[in-house]
Amino acid sequence: MAEVIGIRFKENGKLYYFDPNGTQFTLGQLAIVETAHGIECGTVSMENTEVDAASIVQPLKKALRAATKADEKKLEENLEKEKKAFEICEQKIAEHDLAMKLISAEYTFDCSKVLFYFTADGRIDFRALVKDLAAVFRTRIELRQIGVRDEAKILGGIGICGRPFCCTTFLDDFQPVSIKMAKEQGLSLNPSKISGACGRLMCCLKYEQEAYSDLLRRTPKTGAIVMTPNGRGVVTDQNLLTGVLTVSLEKDPDAAPQTYKVSEVRVIRDGKIKIDKSELAQFGGLEKN
C-alpha cells in the first residue's frame, strides 16, 4: 500500500496521484506539486489515502506544499497573463495564415512554459509560429492539437437536453461510444439526434448501455424466429423496456402481427443487430474523437 493524494488541475479534469510527502491535505485545498511539465498548482480532490501500490504509475511525483496566499495571488496573475497570451497567439495565427482554431492558453504555475491548445482538420506546420511566440513571451512554448471532444470539454456549453455538457461538469475522461450502442438502444440513426455539440456521438449513450446489453441477452431480437402460443413466427419489432414483442405468424403472414411478452415465447433462432456498410459510411465519423 502507498499513501497518495488526488489532484485535479482543471475543474472536473483527470485525477492525478501524488505523494503527499508527509503533509496532511484536505479536500478543496490548493497544493503545489511537481509534475512532468514543471511546478503546478492544483486542487486536492482526494485526501491522503492508502491505495494499492500496483495501481500507481511510478515514479510518483511529490506534493511540495500547501498553497500560500502568495501562491493564490500568483494563480490570479497567471489567469490574467493567459488572457493576453490567448489574444497575442490569435493575432500571430492570423499573421501566419494558419488553418487552426485556438482553444485556450495556459501558463504553468512557475511560468516556465506556455501551452496553447488548438484544433485543426489536419497536420499544421507551426514552427514559424512557435518562433514568433517564443520571441514575444521569452519562455518555452508548446502547441497541442486536440480533438473536438476536448474542445467541448474546455469551452463548455449547453447540450440538447438543456443541461451543461457532461464532459465539463462531471466526466473526468471520455469513454468509447459506438454506432452499435445507438442501434442496440433502438435510437434513430439521425446525426442531429444522437450527436452532441462537438459533432460526435453523445457521451450519455454509454450510461445505459450496460442495462440495454443485459436486456438484449434476454430479449429476442428483430428477425428472430420464435415459437409463440399460436405457432412459429418472426419478430418484427421489440420493446426492450416493456418486454413486448411484435410477431408475424408463419401460418398467416398476411394477418396483422400479434404481440407477446418475452416470457410467452421460445427462441428457435435469434436475430442479430447489424450495421451495414452504408450506415457505417454515413455515421462512422460520429465515433471519432
Q: Which domains occur in the chain, in start order?
A: 2-67 (no CATH), 73-146 (3.30.300), 219-269 (2.30.30.30)
Helix (H/G/I), strand (E/B), else coil: 1: coil
Contacts of 144 (CB under 8 A, 6+ apart): 115, 116, 117, 118
Q: Between the CA of residue 248 and those of 232, 235, 273, what are the distances in Å?
A: 9, 6, 19
Q: Which residue ranges in the chain fall short of pLDDT 70?
A: 289
Q: How far apart are CA 213 and CA 81, in angstroms?
A: 49
Q: What is the reported pTM?
A: 0.79
Contacts of 231 (CB under 8 A, 6+ apart): 249, 250, 251
Q: What is the pLDDT of residue 202?
A: 93
Of 151, 89, 94, which Cα lies nearest the Cα of 114? 89
Q: What is the pLDDT of residue 172?
A: 81
Q: What is the pLDDT of residue 281?
A: 73
